[in-house]
Structures are given as structure tokens and as C-alpha cells.
Amino acid sequence: MSMTITEKILAAHAGMPEVHPGEFVRCKLDFVLGNDITAPIAINEFGKMGACCVYDKARVGLIPDHSTPNKDIKSAQLTKQMREFAKAQAIENHFEVGRVGVEHALLPEQGLVGAGDCIIGADSHTCTYGALGAFSTGVGSTDLAAAMALGETWFRVPDSLRFRFFGARRPWVSGKDLILYTIGNIGVDGARYRAMEFDGEAIAALCMSDRLAMCNMAIEAGGKNGIIAPDDITRAYLDGRAKRPYTFYASDPDASFLEAYEWDCRTIEPQVSFPFLPSNTKPISEAASLNVTIQQSVVGSCTNGRLEDLRIAAAVMKGRKVHPDVRMLVIPATQWIWQQAMREGLFDIFIDAEAVVSTPTCGPCLGGHMGILAEGERAVATTNRNFVGRMGHTKSEVYLANPAIAAASAVLGRIGSPEELGMTEADLAAFAVKLV
């Protein structure tokens, strides 16, 4: 039987020759993870079920990234609980301050997740790792507790949707824009419990950072997982990094998809998601014409806090100043990214522009800390959600965009593009050459 990449990974981990959409399967897990919001609940349930030890101390990840460094007594108690559990269980992959990063940037960077893996995490954006050619999805804390003990869990095999992008991308269009465009077209429930498979020449041309951003937001369309077939770019990323052997899977040419979409990248502009849904997208030409003033710009998160994202933002900010009415926050997603950005002189550019550079944290993305919005304030952010009250007050607003748009908007004081600053992609390329 022909199968999609998602079906092949699930079949392999279920020990079955083939699986079919709608089937229930029990799969062995390669890695399980939780953060400082979800892991403490799982730890409590782990104890209640009478479990004595985790299934594999090298395949459990505990990453306190949402309120790091601890923002209050409650968060300190939660991270203490994680620390004590990690020590008692001899868990190898416990990352606290000094080692911690935003989980969905940290784990690929550390080589703890890879192609062909089956991964669950008690965080909805666990679907990020599909960019490496893995099946990865978010679960609840109770499911995480059981998985920590058993090393397996059950799934209903999802139907697959194919999203094919062809043609050359327009200036300033990134993976973030392609996924926002997708969500804008199919809606926030358009892929509900479906596997979202991205392919086509435009996807093949994306760097790993852009691929991770795309799969990260599959959940914003209701997807069970997002996935991209691994290739030479994947191999170059994994080689020398992967902690375990990995396996490349690809959909069969005659694999069955519930629906298939094809879009020409030559018609897709950079996208901005207006409040209060990621699906409320507008092309930048329209968004800029609406003169939406902002008070905050955020470059960071598990979606767009990688080194490539910071380089793009720095290229736009170089020689410019943040608008006096705007606060610009730059949040490298991991310690390694932070250090590399510093070495490349990106921090000098941001600080000269009067932006602030933070330690790695999810903080403002979920309205936790490090950048909360007051009543009536607006932020443009490279984060992944813009629900009511997502970044602070229920009467604040969040606009989702790529790093170039977020940086340009910080300078303009309103949502706008690098082109309004007289910048071209040739300028971006020249900036990249100087970094080398």
C-alpha cells in the first residue's frame, strides 16, 4: 500500500507494515518533552499513577522556558519541582537558566530530535520538528506523564493534506509568510487533526530556519502535525548534530491525500495576521496602507527566534533607530544563538538602534513576562498567536509578521515593510556577506 510520510513514520513506530487514516495505533516514542507550565502537572500525575522511573533518562526533556528566569514565586516553585524530579530521575536533558532556550529551537539545535522520529510534547507547538522529517505533535500533561513512564502512546492516524508551493518567492517572503498565507486560506480549523505536508520547489529552497517556522504553526490551522520530507538541507543540519541515528521517509508518489493545495509563490507577498486570529491575514501592501501604529515590536519565540531571523532583523535595523513611540524586544531563542549573535555584532546593531536584547525566553509570546502589553497597546511580533489578551491586556492587540516586517515596523512606528525604508533584498544579501 502507498503511504504518506506521516503514515510511514507511524507505521514504523507501531511495528506495523502499514497504517490507514482513522486507525488507532500504539507507537514507541523517540523523545518526550515538557516545559515549566506543563511538566509540573505531568510530574504530579506521574506520581499519582505509581510510576517509579522514566522509560529512558536520555529521551525525556524538561525545559523551563516560559517564565525564565523565574518571574515570581509561583514560577520559581514550578521550576524547583522540575529540577528535583530531573535530579531524582537522573534525566539528562534538563535545561535551566544558563543552558535553557526556547524548547522548540533548543531541541533541534541540540540534536535531540531528528528525521524519522516520533515525538510528543506537552506544548502545542511540538509540531515544529516536522521540519526535520519527524512526526511530532502536542499532547496534554496527563499523556506526557504516561509517556514518560511507558515510552509509548496512542494516536489516531490522521488524514494528510498536501500544500505545494511553486515559483520563486518575492522579496522579503519567508517561511513565516508561507504558513500565514496557508492559514489565511484554509482557516484556523482548516486542517483539524490532519497532517499538513508541505512540498514543492519553493519549500525545497527554504533554509531549515524557515522550515521550522512553517511546521511550528501547523497547529494554528488545527493540524495534528506539520511535516516536510527531509533532503540534503536536512542532512546538512543533522550531520554532526544528531544524538541518534535518523531515518529519511518520503511520501509515495501515489500516496493518498484528503485534499491538495497548490500556490504560486510569485503572487504571495509578506503577510500580516491582524487580531484576533492567525487566519486574519493581509498582504503587507494592504496592511501598510491601513496606518496601524504600534507600541511594541518583538523579534523572537519558537517561531522566529533563530539566528537567521536575528540576522534579517539586524540588517533592517542597521544604521536606524527604533521609533520613539515603540519598544523593540529582541529575544534570541537559545544560549548558542545569543552568543553567536553577539559575536557577529548583531547586538551592537540592536542596541545602537535602541532596542533591548533579552535572555532566551518565551516570555512575551504568551503574555507571561518580558514585554506585557497595556490596555490599548498594539504589538507586531514574530510569534505565533494573536488571540484576545495573548500578550497582555484583553484590550491590547497583536499582529503577526516575519522578522523583516517586525524590524521595519519598529523603525516606522507603524506596520510597514523594509521597502518603505528604501531597503532591498540586495542590501540584505550584502549584509550577510559582511557577516561571513
Residue 334 confidence (pLDDT):
97
Q: b/e string for 400-416 if b means 16 or more Cβ within 10 A?
A: bbbbbbbbbbbbbbbbb
pLDDT in tens, the chain (436 residues): 899 999 999 999 999 999 999 999 999 999 999 999 999 999 999 999 999 999 999 999 999 999 889 999 999 999 999 999 999 999 999 999 899 999 999 999 999 999 999 999 999 999 999 999 999 999 999 999 999 999 999 999 999 999 999 999 999 999 999 999 999 999 999 999 999 999 999 999 999 999 999 999 999 999 999 999 999 999 999 999 999 999 999 999 999 999 999 999 999 999 999 999 999 999 999 999 999 999 999 999 999 999 999 999 999 999 999 999 999 999 999 999 999 999 999 999 999 999 999 999 998 888 888 899 999 999 999 999 999 999 999 999 999 999 999 999 999 999 999 999 998 888 887 887 676 5
Fold of the domain spanning 5-263: Aconitase; domain 3 (3.30.499)
Q: Give per-residue burial for 315-332: e unless 16+ CB within 10 Å, then b.
A: bbbbebebbeebbbbbbb
Domains of the chain, residue spans: 5-263, 270-435
What 3-state DSSP class applies to 26? strand
- Position 366 scores a pLDDT of 86
pLDDT value, residue 430: 82
Residues contacting 273, CB < 8 A, separation 6+? 180, 183, 184, 279, 280, 281, 386, 399, 400, 401
How would you write 353-408 as a 3-class SS string?
Answer: CCCEECCCCCHHHHCCCCCCECCCCEEEECCCCCCCCCCECCCCEEEECCHHHHHH
Question: In the CATH hierarchy, which top-level class contains the domain 270-435?
Answer: alpha beta
- Name residue, grid cell 517572503: 173
